Amino acid sequence: MSNSSINKTKSSIYFRYADKQLNYTKKAALKHFVKEIFKQEKVSLNTLTYIFCSDEFLININKEFLNHHYYTDIITFCLSAKGDAIEAEAYISVDRLKENAQQLKLSFNEEVERVVFHGALHLCGYKDKRKEDIAIIRQKENFYIKQFNKQ
């Protein structure tokens, strides 16, 4: 399906759970806002599934699929062909969310929002390997967190 034809279909955001639950009360609003990010970034979205899990679950994915042997907060897999509407899965460690929130002196909810938006922004084409790319994606995360919290 092309980007132009997919705009006529409804996009879907799902929250699923591997081996950890997410204690976050604004799930419906967050899912709706992720769709808004894709609209504002002008990227066609079909389906994005966030899977919440433990550090151990996510490090196994990190090792198996990316050959990385370290903990991370999110791994995002785009499953669609280039040019098609986004079909993706994003795995998020609830353990990392808690630890990051403490280290960054943020509320748990703020860290959930930051990481969820971070995954969406990766799918919109933003990178975070080089210093200048990190600055751009952080700026976008902060922009969307402010927008989300104004609702």
Q: State the Cα–Cα distance between residues 143 and 95, nearest whole angstrom.
A: 25
Question: Within the chain, which residues score under 50 in pLDDT?
Answer: 1-8
pLDDT at residue 7, as a whole number: 43
Name the residue range of residue 106's domain. Answer: 3-150
Burial of 77 from C-beta contacts in 10 A (0-12 / 13-18 / 19+): middle
Looking up residue 117, the CATH number of its domain turns out to be 3.40.390.30
pLDDT at residue 10, as a whole number: 83
**Whole-model pTM above 0.85?**
yes
Q: State the Cα–Cα distance between residues 114 and 117, nearest whole angstrom.
A: 5
pLDDT at residue 1, as a whole number: 37
Residue 110: CB partners within 8 Å, gap ≥ 6?
A: 101, 145
Number of domains making up the chain: 1
Question: Cα–Cα distances in Å, from 122 out to 26, 105, 116, 130?
Answer: 22, 24, 10, 14
pLDDT in tens, 31-67: 999 999 999 999 999 999 999 999 999 999 999 888 8
The amino acid sitting at 57 is F
DSSP per-residue letters across 69-130? -S--SEEEEE-SPTTSPEEEEEEEEHHHHHHHHHHHT--HHHHHHHHHHHHHHHHTT---SS
